[in-house]
Amino acid sequence: MSRPTTANENMVEMQDRPFLSSRRHSAHAYAPGAPQPQGFVPTPAQLEAGLQKRKPFPATVAPSRQLHRHRSRSSRPQAADRGNSGFSIASARVSITEMPSPDEILAKVESHGLGTYRYIITGVTRGQEHSGGAEGQPADSIGVKFGLERLNCTDDHIAAKEQLQQLADEYPMPEPRHGETHNQIRYRHFAVYQRLFAAVIAINMILIIAFAVVTGTNNQQKIFTYANALTAVSANILGAQMMRQEHCINMLFRSVLSLPRSWSVKVRRHAAKIYCYGGMHSACGVSSMGWYIFFAVLVQNWPASNPAYNHTVLATSVMILLMFGVLTIGSIPWFRARFHNQWELMHRYSGWTTVAIVWVQLFCISASNAATESRNLGIHLVKTPSFWMLAATTLLLIYPWLFLRKVTFVAEKLSTHATQLHFDTNKVLPTCAGIALSGAPLVENHKFATIPEPDKQPGFSVLVANNGDWTKKLVDNPPQYLWTRGVPALGVARIAKVFRRVVLVATGSGIGPCLSFINVHPEWAMRIVWSARLPLESFGKSNIQNILRADKDAIVIDTKKTSYKEEGMPSLIKVTYAAYQDFDAEAVIVISNPAVTHEIVYNLEKRKVPAYGAIWDS
């Protein structure tokens, strides 16, 4: 048996008004003051005062999904655009004969096309004025006249400074629980990425020190030899390569995405940090250098069957140590950020060279040992663990190049700042997957988030913004084709599926990875916060419509009109925190440039808000 609805519940319900197409024929009048008890009927004077005080509210009209499945639902404006509802009634003294039915409204709207419309009260009449003096109408009855006005479908959803300030004031950011020193160590210098790095390094260093001590005190027993050290080198190189292989990355993500959302949010918030797997890649790379130094020391006492093998191993050891030095120094964060193009070339070719030289060393050592033991070289290699690990590493390096393809596209120039590349394919790409695009695959590769077509249609697009030399050329003068290699790899935005309710925060072209999720899962409970300069002019009407289709109350900030430097304008951090609280979300995902991403994630995490953002380690 259902219980009666209270006045407070009525008020909450009216703040989340349904589309007109899904309502019954009804009229609601509002009066000022506190919520009234159920059954309260105001006097005509009170009702008229309420109607006159009530500001017109915008409402979105869209065709029924049953009748128009092929059309997208339009958006309804934010709650901040509507006045405060005191209470609602359906009084017998209120005439609704002048209010069109939803079907009549839809018929009129469809003649003009889908959009956002303002349905307003245009007049109030007393007594028999509204009935033309008809008999039987009470002298104190009220007639309500309504009007329909079309609004701009995008400007209506650009947040004003006052709205953002109101939202930030309603949910002020609390002070962090701990001091700045503690927060810096916990959330910046020893975050999940750094903890994974430290754990892998610690395990390897403990083993190196332990075996070094054992080898030094029991040298005659040969408990640990150069062959064992070379096996450890090969194992770490393989581990580093696996953490960059697309199928391995996708497997890690899918293992986390398989967690039931009924599990505690504490478990899911920790598991969602799976995108920090790069910490293991870096740690394995540094550890392989440590093991190789240990190997280079041990191999000096190696009794080769031919002096030429000793000279070869010595020369290649020097070359490998040089390559490891280049890889390690070049991967220091500040160097990588400042010289990214140079780092990419150094990292790729130094890595390939290192693997090739280790192969040379392995064959030299195996050939010498096979000759000493009078064994077949092939049999000796098959029984060497390093051979299989290097073989697996080599296959992982070659595999992406087997999928090197020349692809054509249609470039849709959204503005002088952004271009959307549309790729024609019969495949439906997974959501939040990234691909590598390049004009010269051996020189440079640029990763972009793919944006699947809405409603699971085949094909995808890529949003390119003018943020660098290569992207500027692509926006200004798109080539006839590009190269892509490898398979799509899942990105950080995909972890949105780990949570029931999530806030997606993007700046500028960072909306691209978010659209990858939005287009595929418009039904997901999400609140979108997008800050960009001239979002409509820069990124196109269709992208904004897709955003509003998924979140009718999306917070779209035009930094051209509402600059964060403007007095009284809340920061994006404060807006994000307020949106997180207002939407009752479980997590926040940030897609932006490195500085903004790190700043928002850090400020939220130190206030115990689960926040996630790209780590920019490649």
- Shared domain for 336 and 371, answered yes or no, is yes
- Shared domain for 249 and 322, answered yes or no, is yes
The pLDDT > 70 percentage for the chain reads: 75
Question: What mean pLDDT value characterizes the chain?
Answer: 81
Report if residue 531 sits inside a domain: yes
pLDDT band at 99 (very low <50, low <70, confident <90, very high): low
Tens digit of pLDDT for each residue in 382-415?
999 999 999 999 999 999 999 999 999 999 999 9
Rounded Cα distance, 580 and 529, in Å: 10
DSSP state of 69: T
Six-digit token pair at 112? Answer: 């003009």
- Shared domain for 229 and 347, answered yes or no, is yes
Report if residue 618 sits inside a domain: no
Last residue of some domain: 400, 417, 435? 400
pLDDT band at 22 (very low <50, low <70, confident <90, very high): very low
Report if residue 347 sits inside a domain: yes
Residue 220 has pLDDT above 70, yes or no: no
Q: What is the pLDDT at residue 497?
A: 96
Does the predicted model carry a pTM greater than 0.95? no
Q: What is the pLDDT at residue 52?
A: 53
Last residue of some domain: 428, 459, 493? 493
Tens digit of pLDDT for each residue in 547-594?
999 999 999 999 988 888 777 788 999 999 999 999 999 999 999 999
- CATH number, domain containing residue 524: 3.40.50.80
- Shared domain for 235 and 353, answered yes or no, is yes
CA distances from 50 to 78, 94, 504, 525 (A): 22, 13, 38, 34
What average pLDDT score do residues 40-68 get?
A: 46
Helix (H), strand (E) at residue 531? strand 525-532
Tens digit of pLDDT for each residue in 492-546?
999 999 999 999 999 999 999 999 999 999 999 999 999 999 998 899 888 999 9
Residue 104 has pLDDT above 90, yes or no: no
What average pLDDT score do residues 309-336 get?
A: 92
- Shared domain for 283 and 210, answered yes or no, is yes
Write out the DSSP string of 174-240: PPPSS-HHHHHIIIIITSHHHHHHHHHHHHHHHHHHHHHHHHHHSGGGTSS-HHHHHHHHHHHHHHH
Tens digit of pLDDT for each residue in 299-318?
988 888 788 898 999 999 99
- Shared domain for 264 and 222, answered yes or no, is yes
Q: How many domains does the chain have?
A: 4
pLDDT band at 425 (very low <50, low <70, confident <90, very high): confident
- Shared domain for 365 and 413, answered yes or no, is no
The answer to whether 581 and 171 are in contact (CB under 8 A) is yes
Residue 90 has pLDDT above 60, yes or no: no
Six-digit token pair at 75? Answer: 């958006």
- What's the distance, CA 63 to chain centroid? 31
B/e letters for 331-360, b = 16+ CB within 10 Å, e = fewer, are beeeebeeeeeebbebbeebbebbbebbbe
Report if residue 28 sits inside a domain: yes
Q: What is the pLDDT at residue 146?
A: 67
- Shared domain for 117 and 263, answered yes or no, is no
Q: What is the pLDDT at residue 391?
A: 98
Q: Tokens 């009525």 appear where?
A: 10
Last residue of some domain: 383, 400, 417? 400
- Shared domain for 560 and 603, answered yes or no, is yes
The domain of 587 spans 499-613
Report if residue 163 sits inside a domain: no
DSSP state of 559: T
- Shared domain for 212 and 276, answered yes or no, is yes
Q: What is the pLDDT at residue 373?
A: 87
Report if residue 174 sits inside a domain: no
- CATH number, domain containing residue 479: 2.40.30.10
Q: What is the pLDDT at residue 111?
A: 61
Give the list of residues 6+ apart from residue 68 with CB closer than 8 angstroms, or none.
none
- Shared domain for 474 and 524, answered yes or no, is no
- Shared domain for 51 and 113, answered yes or no, is yes
pLDDT band at 29 (very low <50, low <70, confident <90, very high): very low
Give percent helix, percent strand, percent coil of the chain, each to the nearest 5.
50, 15, 35
